[in-house]
Amino acid sequence: MRRRFQLLSATAAFTILTACGTNNPQDTAAVERETSTTELTRAESTAAESGIRRPSRLFLQQISSNSAIVKWRGESDKSCVAKSVEDLKLAQMCVAAKSTESNHKEAGFKGLVADTQYYYSVGPYSDKSLFFRTAPETGKLPSDNNIHIWIIGDSGTATEQYVPGVFTHPGEAKAVMDGYLNYNAQQNDEPLDLLLMLGDNAYVAGTDDQWQGAVFDLYTELLGQAATWPTIGNHEMGMGAIEHPEKGLVYFPGASTSSDPDAYLGKKSEGVGRIPYLDIFTLPTQGEVGGVPSGNEQYYSFNYGNVHIVSLDSQLTARDEQQRAAMKQWLVSDLSSNNQSWTVVIFHHPPYTKGSHDSDTAPSRYLGIDSPIVDMRLEFTPVFEDYGVDLVYGGHSHAYERSFYLHGHTGDANSFVAEKHTELNAMGQPSRGNGDESYPQISANSHKDDKVVYTVAGSSGKVSLGKGKLDHPAHIVQKADPQQRHGLAELGSVVLDAGAAELTASFINEKGQVLDTVTIVR
């Protein structure tokens, strides 16, 4: 596996490998990377000492096999990349920044080499943590034969304040990140390839300031080393006007039912404007990283090696019948053209949940039925099954729930029939998806690629159930749960590892422990 090494001298690294008697070319590459890291430390550590500060918002977008986007805020007007520290100092591969919405700058690099580590700088600033690795060629795996993905949902609680100055979940999102890092340290510190965010990434209203505090100030190093791919949640859409039974019309964060991205209301005093999410991220609209062009940033797809990932919009687009139909038509076209080994779909509102939200009634304070949950289940789950989607991830409900290998269940929880809607094992019982019961991509029951695992991963910033009982029968009973419920009321995140023959997803709690695993085998 690719490893993020501790800082050693190049001589020390060479001595360690020589003592082990290795002739492995990957280990030789490790020496080269270690040498470069050491050189970077010597050559560039003066940046902080000289008062040059890291850009306040530095992150990566759209990393493909031959391109990457570096994005930031600040006065710097260019970025440079190079395969080695010495080449970076020569500033031979530099791109002038262009200004984008909301005072962002970005530099797009093309002509890069696939599956190759690059160091980069922004203006005069660089340090040892500023590097990324390009994707492998489409359809192929990286040099370590594994694509390593971190998935977080409803993680934006570092800024959650319903009463000014009173933080409701201080330190919980950081604890989840630390849990992931602790787990990763036990797995040889494999560098992250992709970061997927399932919505509600910045509480309580998705303002630009809240994005800074909940995302960029928290995941600083990770954002500077791997591309971030988000989806839109209800808190990304700011405040919504709702009819309170006693107070009349009031505004509440996360309650917007508008389908218009220009109807965002972050602060009542500032009026209506464009959703900050769309100004912060640079997402593919024309198939720039693979997939069929969607024509807008609210939903999109891309390829990374042998993985195809689709981000749908269950918050805005899904609330308008015509827009929803257009998204569905695009999805069918996109999945029809997809020939990657694995397909993963993300969106915010989960089709099956009995946590802080209920996928049957989905009460959202005074709003009644949260229609995107029902609509996504009725209209989109059949598409996932018909076109070979493997895994679907949502947030919104603040717990962890993971389904059986499902097919044909579009009704409420009471209509679920295990013998009809799940992959069955040799004993005629629903398979659990791990160990001897790992799921075959081609169903042993139907002999088709027609089943999907649905996961609710909405506990990356807080855990809350309300009246939820974690008892949706489409989800497996979690053996790690003291009450043996169909889910886990635990802080955590999901790590997804994609290889040539296996796709494995693991729920990691804030202590770095693996509490659930599901594996699909080609």
Kindly indicate the confidence band of residue 354, based on its pLDDT and cuts at 50, 70 and 90.
very high
Query: Within 13 Å and on the Cβ side, how many CA atoms surround 365?
Result: 13
Compute CA distances 447 → 335, 423, 450, whole Å: 20, 11, 8
Contacts 24+ apart (CB under 8 A), 113-116: 113/66, 113/83, 114/65, 114/66, 115/65, 115/142, 115/143, 116/83
The mean pLDDT of 39-64, rounded to a whole number, is: 70
Q: In what order do the strands lie in the sheet with 117-122?
A: 94-96, 78-82, 117-122, 131-133
pLDDT over threshold 60, residue 86: yes
First to last CA, the chain: 21
Q: For residue 51, is pLDDT > 90?
A: no
* pLDDT confidence tier of residue 243, bands split at 50, 70 and 90: confident
174 Cβ partners below 8 Å, 6+ apart? 158, 218
Percent of the chain with pLDDT over 70: 89
116 pLDDT above the threshold of 70: yes
Confidence of residue 361 (pLDDT cuts 50, 70, 90): confident
The arrangement of secondary structure in 147-521, i.e. its CATH architecture, is 4-Layer Sandwich (3.60)
pLDDT of residue 202: 98
Please give the pLDDT value at position 5: 30
pLDDT for the residue 39: 39
Q: Which whole number is the average pLDDT over 144-169? A: 97
| 10-133 CATH | 2.60.40.10
Q: Which residue has the higher pLDDT, 445 or 50?
A: 445
pLDDT, mean over the chain: 89
* Rounded Cα distance, 65 and 499, in Å: 17
Domain residue limits, the chain = 10-133, 147-521
DSSP letter for each residue of 404-437 = EEE-S--S-GGG--HHHHB-B-TTSSB--SSGGG
Looking at residue 79, its pLDDT comes to 97
- Which one is predicted more confidently, 192 or 6? 192
Identify whether the C-beta of residue 338 lies closer than 8 Å to the C-beta of residue 291: yes
Highest-scoring range by mean pLDDT, 11-25, 89-103, 193-207, 362-376: 193-207
Q: How confident is the model at residue 247 (pLDDT cuts 50, 70, 90)?
A: confident
Residue 6: per-residue pLDDT: 32
Residue 73 has pLDDT above 70, yes or no: yes
Flag whether the pTM goes above 0.85.
Answer: yes
CA 17, CA 28: separation in Å to the nearest integer? 8
Tracing tokens 């965010």 back to the chain, one arrives at: 197
pLDDT tens column, 466-508: 999 999 999 999 999 999 999 999 999 999 999 999 999 999 9
Distance CA 219, CA 193 (A): 14
% of residues, the chain, pLDDT over 90: 82
> Tokens representing 187?
């797995």
pLDDT confidence bin for 40, thresholds 50/70/90: very low
User: Can you give the pLDDT at residue 513?
Assistant: 98
198-222 per-position pLDDT tens digit: 999 999 999 999 999 999 999 999 9
- Statement: residue 48 has pLDDT above 80: no
CA angle centred on 185, ends 196 and 178, rounded to 5°: 60
- The neighbour count for residue 320, using CB atoms within 10 Å, is 14
Helices (H) and strands (E) in the chain, counts: 12, 23
Taking only the tens place, the pLDDT of each residue in 400-451 is 999 999 999 999 999 999 999 999 999 999 999 999 999 999 999 999 999 9
Binned at pLDDT 50, 70 and 90, residue 362 comes out as: low
pLDDT of amino acid 22: 34
202 C-beta neighbours (distance < 10 Å), count: 30
For the cut 50, the answer to whether the pLDDT of residue 82 exceeds it is yes
pLDDT in tens, 259-302: 999 999 998 778 899 999 999 999 999 999 999 999 999 999 99
* Mean pLDDT value across residues 163-191: 96
Rounded CA-CA distance 504/438 in Å is 9
Q: What is the mean pLDDT of residues 124-143?
A: 96
Q: Please state, as a whole number, how many other Cβ atoms lie within 10 Å of the Cβ of residue 508.
A: 24
Candidate ranges 41-50, 84-93, 260-269, 310-319; pick with highest mean pLDDT:
310-319
Q: Chain centroid to CA 480: how far?
A: 24
Cα separation, 47 vs 41, whole angstroms: 10
pLDDT at 38 over 50: no
pLDDT (mean) for 351-358: 96
C-alpha angle 17/20/24, rounded to 5°?
65
- What residues have CB less than 8 Å from 309, skipping those under 6 apart? 194, 196, 229, 301, 302, 303, 343, 344, 345, 346
Closest CA to 7 of 48, 30, 41: 41
